[in-house]
């Protein structure tokens, strides 16, 4: 059975690569669907919420009624197709293992999506105080759904679990707030946590390629409930760099390509700052009184919701000290733990099928333990894959308690060192700095690949193409003489200036493999480990932007999120600093304008940027170092 469904999961990659489905894969999918049809009875219900709105809910009950089962629920904005009680899917639950383990599976269209009634709101704001029946959010909808299921679905054991990846991960996280007493185990996986730092915005910088792709395919409005999906957007060009550059401003991209069909795009454009619009959509502060057991799952190379994953885990730890909350991090792209083998990403290999290991040894035992009282040991506080050495490690705390915080400083001649610069001003009384010209009309590409989309591999891409550009500053350590393990969050602490009045700042952390003969795999490869961007105007306050004073040294600090990576003996650590990253990130005109999304062509101006590395203004990265084993 496992092999049958594993083959079905390969379908996604088959479609992406070949544009079709092989006869063997189609047969395996059909066999999985037949197994589900033979062993489960499907029901469709319109489940009423406290305000009278009804939500389409598909329920699959095992045909063996000699025992009871826990319910396992996923709430989704993406549809619960196929619709119709005689139509069966080829997948149920988090993985193929759950189908034979025995659960009552519940899939629900969230409010306002597909066949459910009501009005859909992107990342529904949480209402901590509900005094009227009309005060509804995803927490109350989850509570009402569970209550209805307990009273109307037979053969359950009184326990409910929830799971979901990405947007469904958000609904899982929201659903465990003020949790229903029957909700015993929840796994938010790559959950959206705060859309000003997740997905479309990173420290105020707009992730253009990703936002365009997702919103064009998922944010068109519907007139009435429907079981039909929107038609996928057809890009006018495969060259996203050229396509978005020629369009000019974000306003023009909407006018030329989206043609005003995505109301949320237009709404976002009215809120470039972290105002109430975005603050209301931050779920993380509300993660209180959650389910008894929570397992947050993410991948080191999740290009979409890495922030939401780590901050969700941290928030649960702080606000629910008695809850059994654990963290799992593997070497995966967004959702890769559920749909791929997890043995490689792009050019980088990880030594084993890490996703299969997770599904069998971590995910299934988690739900079996807390929903069925199966005799599995409690999961470790943090089960984390160490990249660079390709081994799983467990910790009783995250970040690891043994981590030592150190600072890695920029020095002259492109050097990185753990000691602070001690230099004095030069003969012209100028501080030590490195300079580059940033031209928003010739931005640095984020990848060598020609594509209009954000690739899933960019977070491990070879960065040699960027290090050879004059508008990318490159620094590296000496060759490591012993293995060096980085663990926990990384903070960039920059001292910069610009001749303009605004600028983005991108920092990339890179593992440089040693040069070797041509036949050596990935010789000289500059593997991206972690990267992040901040819109400089938000350096002090995301709600109150401010321009740069031309030529004035200015401090810019921001978090690059967590890592667990081993730099092996013979490797180097590299840091790259740049100001454009296109079309992953929209262009900053480098002239301060109140709303950057409506910048005019003349606003886009070249500027000379300086990155300081003096004793007075020491640019550095704050990094956790874990004793190597």
* CATH number of the domain that residue 131 is part of: 3.40.50.1820
Determine phi and psi for 366, rounding to 5 degrees. Answer: -60, -50
Are 70 and 371 in contact by the 8 Å Cβ rule? The answer is yes
Residues pairing with 384 in the sheet: 329, 393
Is residue 37 domain-shared with residue 158, that is, in the same domain? Answer: yes
Could you give the CA distance from residue 388 to residue 340 in angstroms, rounded to a whole number? Answer: 20
Average the pLDDT over 567-572 and give the result: 97
CA nearest 542: which of 279, 209, 264, 191?
Answer: 279
Is residue 380 domain-shared with residue 412, that is, in the same domain? Answer: no
| Residue 438 placed within a domain | yes
Extract the tokens encoding 616: 């007075």
DSSP state of 264: H
Is residue 355 domain-shared with residue 498, that is, in the same domain? Answer: no
Could you give the CA distance from residue 126 to residue 289 in angstroms, rounded to a whole number? Answer: 14
Q: Where a domain ends, among 395, 420, 455?
A: 395
pLDDT for the residue 16: 38
pLDDT band at 516 (very low <50, low <70, confident <90, very high): confident
Average the pLDDT over 498-517 and give the result: 96
| Residue 214 placed within a domain | no
Could you give the CA distance from residue 173 to residue 281 in angstroms, rounded to a whole number? Answer: 13
Identify the helix (H) or strand (E) that includes residue 332. strand 324-333
Question: H/E/C letters for each residue in 432-484?
Answer: CEEEEEECCCCCCECCCCCCCCCCCCHHHCECHHHHCCCCCEEEECCCCCCCE
Whether the pLDDT of residue 14 is over 70: the answer is no
Whether the pLDDT of residue 215 is over 80: the answer is yes
Could you give the CA distance from residue 492 to residue 490 in angstroms, rounded to a whole number? Answer: 7
Is residue 158 domain-shared with residue 294, that is, in the same domain? Answer: yes
| Residue 315 placed within a domain | yes
CATH number, residue 477: 2.60.120.260
The DSSP bridge pattern shows strands 156-165 and 69-76 to be: parallel
**158-187 b/e with 16+ CB inside 10 Å = b?**
ebbbbbbbbbbbbbbbbbbbbbbebbbbbb
Is residue 97 domain-shared with residue 183, that is, in the same domain? Answer: yes
Q: What angle do CA 465, 469, 471 make, to 5 degrees?
A: 135
| Residue 226 placed within a domain | no
pLDDT band at 5 (very low <50, low <70, confident <90, very high): very low
Round to the nearest angstrom and report the end-to-end CA distance of the chain: 39
pLDDT band at 428 (very low <50, low <70, confident <90, very high): very low
Question: H/E/C letters for each residue in 141-181?
Answer: HHHHHHHHHHHHCCCEEEEEEEEEECHHHHHHHHHCCCCCC
Q: Where a domain ends, among 334, 362, 395?
A: 395
CA nearest 382: which of 400, 357, 367, 368?
Answer: 400
Determine phi and psi for 418, rounding to 5 degrees. Answer: -80, -5
| Residue 382 placed within a domain | yes
pLDDT band at 389 (very low <50, low <70, confident <90, very high): very high
Could you give the CA distance from residue 592 to residue 588 in angstroms, rounded to a whole number? Answer: 9
Identify the helix (H) or strand (E) that includes residue 512. strand 504-512
Whether the pLDDT of residue 2 is over 70: the answer is no
Average the pLDDT over 509-520 and give the result: 91
Question: H/E/C letters for each residue in 449-462?
Answer: CCCCCCCCCHHHCE
Q: Where a domain ends, among 395, 425, 450?
A: 395
Is residue 322 domain-shared with residue 184, that is, in the same domain? Answer: yes
Extract the tokens encoding 544: 């109150």
Tracing tokens 């080829």 back to the chain, one arrives at 90
Could you give the CA distance from residue 493 to residue 560 in angstroms, rounded to a whole number? Answer: 11
Is residue 461 domain-shared with residue 529, that is, in the same domain? Answer: yes
Is residue 483 domain-shared with residue 571, that is, in the same domain? Answer: yes
pLDDT for the residue 21: 60
Q: What angle do CA 380, 402, 191 make, to 5 degrees?
A: 45
Tracing tokens 């650590």 back to the chain, one arrives at 573
CA nearest 474: which of 573, 577, 560, 326?
Answer: 577
Is residue 460 domain-shared with residue 573, that is, in the same domain? Answer: yes
Extract the tokens encoding 287: 């993660």
Is residue 348 domain-shared with residue 465, that is, in the same domain? Answer: no
pTM: 0.94
Average the pLDDT over 305-316 and give the result: 98
Q: What share of the chain is helix, strand, coil (3-state, %, to 5)?
A: 25, 30, 45
Lowest mean pLDDT among 218-227, 337-346, 492-501: 218-227
| Residue 301 placed within a domain | yes
482 burial via Cβ count (<10 Å: 0-12, 13-18, 19+): exposed
Average the pLDDT over 330-336 and give the result: 97
| Residue 253 placed within a domain | no
- Collapsing DSSP to helix, strand or coil, 210 comes out as helix
Are 156 and 183 in contact by the 8 Å Cβ rule? The answer is no
| Residue 219 placed within a domain | no
pLDDT for the residue 424: 58
pLDDT for the residue 19: 46
DSSP state of 608: E
Across the chain, what does the average pLDDT equal?
94
State the DSSP string of 363-414.
Answer: IHHHHHHHHH----PPPPSEEEEEBTTTEEEEESSSS-TT-EEEEEEEEGGG
Is residue 358 domain-shared with residue 391, that is, in the same domain? Answer: yes
Is residue 380 domain-shared with residue 438, that is, in the same domain? Answer: no
Extract the tokens encoding 493: 């602490």
Average the pLDDT over 112-140 and give the result: 96
Please give the tally of structural domains in the chain.
Answer: 2
pLDDT band at 425 (very low <50, low <70, confident <90, very high): low
Are 106 and 149 in contact by the 8 Å Cβ rule? The answer is yes
Which range of residues forms the domain containing residue 471? 404-626
Lowest mean pLDDT among 323-337, 428-442, 576-590: 428-442
């Amino acid at each position: 059975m496992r092999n049958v469904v594993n083959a079905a999961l390969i379908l996604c990659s088959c479609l992406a690569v070949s544009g079709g489905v092989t006869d063997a894969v189609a047969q395996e999918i059909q066999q999985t669907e037949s197994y589900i049809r033979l062993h489960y009875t499907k029901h469709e219900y319109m489940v009423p919420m406290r305000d009278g709105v009804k939500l389409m809910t598909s329920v699959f009950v095992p045909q063996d009624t000699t025992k009871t089962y826990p319910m396992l629920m996923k709430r989704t904005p993406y549809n619960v197709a196929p619709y119709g009680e005689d139509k069966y899917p080829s997948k149920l639950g988090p993985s193929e293992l759950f189908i034979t383990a025995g659960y009552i599976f519940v899939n629900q269209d969230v409010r306002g999506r597909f066949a459910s009634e009501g009005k859909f709101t992107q990342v529904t704001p949480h209402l901590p105080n509900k005094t009227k029946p009309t005060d509804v959010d995803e927490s109350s909808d989850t509570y009402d759904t569970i209550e209805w299921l307990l009273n109307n679905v037979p053969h359950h054991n009184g326990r409910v679990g929830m799971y979901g990846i990405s947007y469904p991960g958000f609904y899982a996280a929201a659903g465990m707030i003020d949790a229903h007493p029957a909700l015993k185990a929840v796994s938010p996986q790559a959950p959206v946590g705060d859309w000003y730092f997740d997905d479309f915005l990173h420290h105020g910088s707009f992730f253009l390629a990703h936002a365009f792709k997702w919103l064009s395919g998922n944010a068109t409005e519907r007139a009435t409930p429907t079981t039909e999906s929107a038609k996928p957007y057809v890009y006018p060009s495969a060259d996203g760099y050229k396509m978005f550059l020629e369009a000019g401003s974000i306003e023009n991209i909407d006018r030329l390509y989206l043609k005003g069909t995505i109301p949320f795009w237009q709404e976002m454009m009215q809120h470039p700052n972290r105002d109430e619009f975005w603050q209301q959509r931050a779920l993380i502060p509300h993660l209180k009184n959650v389910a008894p057991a929570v397992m947050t799952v993410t991948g080191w190379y999740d290009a979409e919701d890495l922030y939401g994953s780590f901050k969700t885990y941290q928030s649960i730890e702080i606000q629910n000290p008695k809850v059994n909350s654990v963290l799992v991090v593997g070497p995966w792209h967004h959702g890769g733990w559920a749909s791929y083998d997890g043995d490689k990403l792009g050019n980088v290999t990880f030594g084993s099928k890490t996703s299969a290991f997770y599904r069998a040894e971590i995910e299934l035992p988690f739900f079996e333990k807390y929903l069925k009282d199966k005799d599995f040991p409690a999961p470790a506080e943090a089960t984390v894959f160490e990249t660079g050495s390709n081994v799983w490690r467990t910790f009783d705390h995250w970040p690891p308690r043994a981590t030592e915080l150190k600072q890695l400083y920029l020095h002259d001649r492109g050097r990185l060192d753990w000691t602070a610069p001690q230099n004095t001003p030069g003969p012209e009384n100028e501080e030590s700095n490195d300079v580059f010209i940033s031209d928003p009309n010739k931005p640095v590409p984020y990848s060598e690949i020609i594509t209009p989309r954000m690739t899933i591999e960019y977070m491990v891409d070879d960065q040699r193409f960027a290090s050879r550009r004059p508008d990318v500053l490159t620094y590296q350590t000496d060759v490591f003489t012993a293995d060096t393990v980085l663990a926990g969050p990384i903070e960039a602490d920059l001292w910069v200036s610009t001749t303009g009045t605004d600028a983005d700042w991108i920092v990339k952390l890179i593992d440089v493999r040693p040069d070797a003969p041509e036949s050596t795999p990935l010789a000289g490869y500059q593997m991206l480990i972690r990267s992040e961007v901040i819109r400089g105007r938000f350096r002090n306050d995301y709600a109150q932007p401010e321009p740069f004073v031309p030529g004035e040294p200015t401090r810019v600090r921001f978090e690059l999120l967590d890592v667990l990576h081993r730099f092996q003996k013979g490797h180097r650590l590299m840091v790259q600093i740049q100001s454009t990253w296109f079309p992953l990130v929209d262009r900053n005109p480098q002239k301060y304008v109140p709303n950057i999304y409506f910048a005019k062509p003349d606003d886009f101006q070249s500027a000379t940027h300086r990155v300081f590395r003096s004793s007075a203004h020491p640019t550095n990265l704050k990094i956790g170092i874990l004793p190597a084993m």
